[in-house]
Every structure is written in C-alpha cells, then in structure tokens.
Homo-oligomer: A and B are copies of this chain.
C-alpha cells in the first residue's frame, strides 16, 4: 500500500458532478488561450483566494497578478528559472517535501540548503516540535555564501509538508524580516492552505501583509491538494512583481495549463455555494479522518507527532532505531516496509535533522486506512520487540 503519496482520496464524490460534466466545453477551448491563464479561471481563483485564503474583500485580488500553469511543480521550476541563475541556492526549512530538491536541481540547476525547523526548546525536553528558527535560516544563508552559491530565495511550505505545522503570524514575520534583511525573495508555497484540521488558524502572507507583498514575496499554490486533483495539473503563482510576471508569461509556453482543465475548475471556483460547501465538507472529513488516524495509531501503540494540516502526520519510530542516526534509520524503514507492505516516506528523504520520523499519508478511505495502520502496527511492534531483545 502506498501511504507515501500526498493524495487526498476522501472528497472526490463532492466534486464528481462538476468534473464529469463541464457545461462550458466549446471550440474556444481547443484553440490557444491567453498566456498566463483564461480570465474565467483567474477570476475563479481570485474569488476563492479572497473568500477562503487571503480573507480580503471581494474584487481585491487583481487577476493580472496571477499566472496559472500545469501544476505547482512546473510553476515552482518556472520561478526558480526566473529568480535564480544556475548554481544559485534557495533555503528551504526542513523536514521538507523531498521533491523540492530535484525540482530545483534537475533543470534549473538550483541548490537547496535546508534550514532546520526543529524546536530546540522542545527537543531539550525530549519532544519533537517544529518552528521557524531564524538562527538556522542565517546559518543556511552563510552556508550558501561560503560555498559560492548565493541564496536567492526562501521557499516556505506553509502550511508545512511533511510536518503538518501551521506557522504563526510571528513566525511568518520572522521569515519575511530575514528575507528583507538579506534582500532575497520569499516564495510562499501555500498549496495546503485549505487542508487545515487542527486548532491553529492558517495565515497567508497576503493576509499578514494586508495584500502589500511588494516585489519580493510571491505565493505559489494549486489544486492538487486542497481540491484533491493531483492528476489534473493546475496551479498558479500570485505575485505583484511586474518583471517576474513578464518573465513567467515568457516561460508560459513550457507550463501551459490545459484549457478544459481551466474551464472545469473555473466552473467550480465561480460557483460560490458549491465552493463553500466543498471546502467546509472536505475540512470536516480531514478533521474526522485525522482523529480516526490518531485513534488507530494509539490502538497499535505507534507513536506519532501531532499535525495540524495537510493529509499526513509523522510517525515517530525513534524507538526502533539502534542509534539515533540516519544510517540506523534506513534498515528500520526497509524492515517496516518489508513486514507491513505499507510504504511511508523516510525521514532522511525530507532532509530533517531528527532520524526516525516517517511521513504517513492518512487520506485513504477508511477500510484501507484501517488495514494500513493495522499492518504498520504489527510490523512496528514486531520490530520493537526484536530491538528491545537485542539491546
């Protein structure tokens, strides 16, 4: 079973009628559309952002500040090409979404420097928690400088993948202050903005700054996570930087979003009643599914780290590690898979600094989720027993 891919399989039924029938399919969709996105789609995105993400008045978000694209991965690469030269670096707080590293490196030639999110005060008490740590950002910045790879941006995945952390306004302000001090960009990846199930409220950098992002703060997001549509390939960049927008439009041929996809999403985003119901019901399902996940994990005695958002949480398998190193993590990760046939993400792949934290995707239908955790529980306790004996 794949519990390593961030797919939300809980809410397709809510979208089904809209996905199966788009009343607006017509010949115009077969032709080339405007670079940067079709107006009804951009209007729908603006509508959604105003109501549910940026929390601002209607018609505040200028659609000319949006550039859509065939998924957030392609758009992130587009922004790396725009802001960085080959050999430059970006700082990404870690644990991080592992694909950031290859997304930046493969073609744009950009290096990723992790900056630990480990909450050291909590760590001193033996707990695992995550927070923005400006000293770590400074250390990462200096590392880039020392290695001749100048840092051009921070990519902040907020809400965070894979930890599920929702950052506070104070933390966001710290990151912004850090970026502005060094005159670098902030790319705020808010792709999980509407997948909140904890108590902490998500704050977009747009809301935090009352819409005044300036030339250095950019938001990337998409429909893979909050709308459960990984396979549709649709995302967007919101930026007020005119020069960046011009470059993104120049690149647009490389990441054009399919017109029928823009059309079907426009039909969802511009239907206020439908949209509101979907977002509310999806969050309700995430919340109850997260609660079920915790209950099942407790039943199996598998430790975990609390999560507030996304479709995942970190399993805490540190007790299985012969020593607290990533070298010791690898055989445990392999053995857990071998015994359970449930694939989770290793800690090492997320470039964190605490070994033994495995990302587990819980957004499977309940029967599958129950089987996955049952199998993981059996394997976990089996390995734990062996580990205890061998100690």
Contact = CB atoms under 8 A, between A and B. Distances in A.
A99 B254 CA distance: 12
B32 A25 contact: no
A254 B77 contact: yes
Interface residues of A, number: 49
Interface in A252-271: 253-261, 264
Contact of A254 (B9, B73, B231): B73
A30 B5 contact: no
A231 B29 contact: yes
Nearest to A264: B260
Contacts of A20: 25
Nearest to A109: B86
Is chain A's binding surface mostly helix, strand, loop or mixed? helix
Contacts of A107: 81, 107-108, 251, 254
A284 B255 CA distance: 33
Contacts of A106: 250-251, 254
A231 B258 contact: yes
Nearest to A38: B231
Contact of A258 (B30, B70, B228): B70
Given A74-B254, A233-B256, 20 more contacts: A9-B31, A12-B27, A12-B30, A15-B30, A19-B260, A20-B25, A30-B228, A30-B231, A30-B232, A70-B233, A70-B258, A73-B254, A74-B255, A77-B254, A102-B253, A106-B250, A233-B257, A258-B258, A258-B260, A261-B261
